[in-house]
Chain A
């Protein structure tokens, strides 16, 4: 922590604005430009724990999958699972390289865009490379990529943990077609379609196991902020998919620091929480 003290007196906002605007008449600074997609709140959060944004970074990948693989078969659709894993791996590798080249120690707030088509799988990542204020570059292998927001990153660090990287896992599985006899037999019944249920379970277990395997490879103790996308594929009625990704974390201090929340009543909530007319 570098800025732990609360400012002693309230700031005269009008005087600060006049001073700021007057400074524009001077020359532009001779410092290195920085770019970031962080909000001012997020940037202040980062500064409060001694970190700063460096550069907006991105990584993309697009993997082809064989046509027709989605419709007929049994078990896992290995080509699609493999394409998904590789697309994430290459996109993460690219954003990681851009962050390391920019002198970042990590990337926070990574927006993950993932699209699965019948012929290809596309992954696009965008985030902000960050570092401790004024710090020099580190070994590229020590640069982390995280989809935690700058707020969550700050909270994580304050609690004594650190992010290690982005872990992903996905699996696509065939839901076997029922025989004609079974279809006719079940037509007038309320019956669970075990083929879909089993396919979803199979898909989920493989995907989660793969994600956790990545966490172990990164020497993490767990994955936080896991996002899940699951369900049948829109272009193939007999294929289901499950994909999960999140940030691998590890405890770096002796023990977890409990961050005690303070309760506040917000005065700028736009939502109507209580409608007096309902009492009439």
Chain B
């Protein structure tokens, strides 16, 4: 993540210097926190509302304006009608392309919110931020997304004051304690997004409308079940892309507890926007595994 902007509100500085600590931890997580030698120093937060510059690109109007919108850079794959028809009703071309501007807006919004949270944590002299929660919410239907990142800033007791940016993790409580005990140290949270636009060509449109097995579906076998290749390619690409973007943030560390979520938004039959978001904890090994006991199956009596 890049350099943090010095945009901490004056009121936040006053509040953070106020004395009493605040925390988003549950009581059991708070207890585990103390057991690990952490002192909670404040609930830290970062917000950012981002407007996506090219929101109209997803609309039906774009199709009539440009046959190959493309993204300028990034993944693009073209599909050509095999039927030899020329008609306004017939989709003679199709395209999958990476929506780099959507990814850029997401990254900028997330990174700004994240760095604002870090700035608050640094103001408190924290070594790290535990129990991070991040949310993204659309603000109306005008192409604005609100990014929230919050967590509990902690100091490590009996340790010199931090000289670098605080480490962060989505974990807290017993789970975080186990991470340390297993020989890992949290480095940072990792989040990445990939966005692909699918402009369906005739074959994809017909298959999505249920015309499998008809002359229009271009089936090469007698089977009436036909794979919708254009959409499968886009789905596969978006999942692979988001994983490679997350991997690029690891620098030799491990991504642990990853959560990959994929969502689709349909504009017209077969015309989709596919978005994949991947979150996880970047962790680093600081010692070898201690000899671990073979797990014992247990039956709970409560």
Interface residues in chain A, defined as those with a beta carbon under 8 Å from any beta carbon in chain B: 1, 3-7, 11, 13-14, 16-25, 28-41, 43-45, 47-49, 56, 58-68, 79, 82-83, 86-87, 90, 94, 118-120, 124, 126, 151, 154-155, 158, 259-266, 268-269, 273
Known: A30-B252, A33-B250, A33-B251. A5 touches B210 (CB 8 A): no
Task: From the candidates B159, B187, B227, B290, name the one contacting A61 in the complex (CB within 8 A).
Answer: B227
Q: Assess whether A35 is in contact with B179, with CB atoms less than 8 Å apart.
A: no
Contact check, B224 vs A11: say whether CB atoms are below 8 A apart. no
B167 and A11 contact, CB distance less than 8 A:
no
Bound form: Cα–Cα A63–B37 in Å? 54
3 shortest A-B CB distances, which residue pairs? A67-B210, A14-B37, A119-B210
Given contacts A14-B36, A64-B210, A66-B213, contact A22 B159 (CB under 8 A): yes
B225 touches A14 (CB 8 A): no
B residues near A32, Cβ cutoff 8 Å: 252
- Expressed in whole angstroms, the Cα–Cα distance for A49 and B212 within the complex equals 48
CB-based contact B35/A21 at 8 Å: no
Interface size of B as a range:
35 or more
The answer on a CB contact under 8 Å between B257 and A38 is: yes
Residue on B with the closest CB to A271? B302
Q: Is the CB of A35 within 8 A of B247?
A: yes
Of all chain B residues, which has the CB nearest A14? B37
A41–B296 alpha-carbon span in the complex (Å): 13
A36 to B246, alpha carbons, bound, how many Å?
11
Cβ-defined partner of A259 (8 Å) among B38, B292, B297: B297
Instruction: Check B299 for interface membership: any CB of A closer than 8 A.
Output: yes
Assembled-state Cα–Cα distance A2/B178 (Å): 20
Tell me which residues across on chain A come within 8 A of B211, comparing CB atoms. Answer: 64, 66-67
B236 CB contacts on chain A under 8 angstroms = 58-60, 94
B262 touches A124 (CB 8 A): yes
B291 to chain A, nearest CB (A): 4
Chain B stretch 242-260: residues in CB contact (< 8 A) with chain A: 243, 246-247, 250-260
How far, in whole Å, are A225 and B81 apart by their CA atoms in the complex? 44
* B280 close to chain A: CB less than 8 A: yes
Q: Shortest distance in angstroms between A116's beta carbon and chain B's nearest beta carbon?
A: 13
Q: Are A65 and B225 in contact (CB under 8 A)?
A: yes
Nearest A-chain residue to B264, judged by Cβ: A122
Question: Which B residues touch A119, using CB under 8 A?
Answer: 207-210
Interface positions, chain B 197-228, Cβ under 8 Å from A, are 207-214, 217, 223-228
Instruction: Report B's interface with A, CB cutoff 8 A.
Output: 28, 35-38, 127-128, 156-159, 163-164, 167, 171, 174-175, 177-182, 184-185, 187, 207-214, 217, 223-228, 231-232, 235-236, 239-240, 243, 246-247, 250-260, 262, 280, 284-287, 289-302
The answer for the CA separation of A38 and B177 in the assembled complex, in Å, is 16
A268 to B167, CA, bound (A): 28
- Assess the B235–A124 pair: CB atoms within 8 A: yes
User: Are B257 and A5 within 8 A (Cβ)?
Assistant: no
Are A39 and B175 in touch, CB under 8 angstroms? yes
In the bound complex, residues from chain B placing their C-beta under 8 Å from that of A22 are: 159
| A124-B264 Cα distance, complex, nearest whole Å | 13
In the bound complex, CA of A41 to CA of B292 (Å):
12
Interchain CA distance A24-B167 in the complex, whole Å: 9
Taking the nearest CB of chain B, how far is it from the CB of A22, in angstroms? 7
A7 adjacent to B291 (CB under 8 Å): yes
The minimal Cβ–Cβ distance linking B280 to chain A, given in whole angstroms, is 7
Q: A5-B293, A155-B297 are in contact. List 17 more A-B contacts (CB 8 A).
A: A14-B157, A20-B180, A34-B254, A44-B295, A48-B293, A64-B207, A64-B208, A65-B225, A67-B209, A90-B227, A119-B209, A119-B210, A126-B239, A263-B301, A264-B301, A265-B301, A266-B302
Q: Which listed residue (A14, A37, A154) contacts B259, Cβ 8 A?
A: A37
Q: Does B180 contact A33, Cβ atoms closer than 8 Å? A: no
Contact between chains at A29 and B225 (CB < 8 Å):
no
Cα of A35 to Cα of B190 in the assembled complex, Å: 11
Residues of A within 8 A of B257 (CB): 36-40
Residues in A with CB closer than 8 Å to B227 are 61-64, 86-87, 90
In this complex, what residue of A is CB-closest to B210?
A67
With a cutoff of 8 Å between Cβ atoms, the chain A residues found around residue B296 in the complex are: 261-262
Contact B182 A40 (CB under 8 A): yes
Pair B297/A29 contact, Cβ less than 8 Å: no
Beta-carbon contact of A82 and B302 below 8 Å: no
Give the distance in Å from the alpha carbon of A174 to the alpha carbon of B95 in the complex.
38
Shortest Cβ distance from residue B219 to the other chain A in the assembled complex, whole angstroms: 9
| Interchain residue pairs with CB less than 8 A apart (21) | A3-B293, A4-B291, A4-B293, A5-B291, A11-B181, A20-B180, A25-B163, A33-B254, A35-B250, A36-B255, A45-B295, A56-B260, A58-B239, A60-B235, A61-B227, A64-B225, A64-B228, A68-B210, A83-B225, A158-B295, A264-B299
- Chain A residue at smallest Cβ distance from B235: A60
Given contacts A60-B239, A64-B210, contact A37 B298 (CB under 8 A): no
A19 to B288, CA, bound (A): 13
Q: Let me know if B35 and A18 touch, CB within 8 A.
A: no
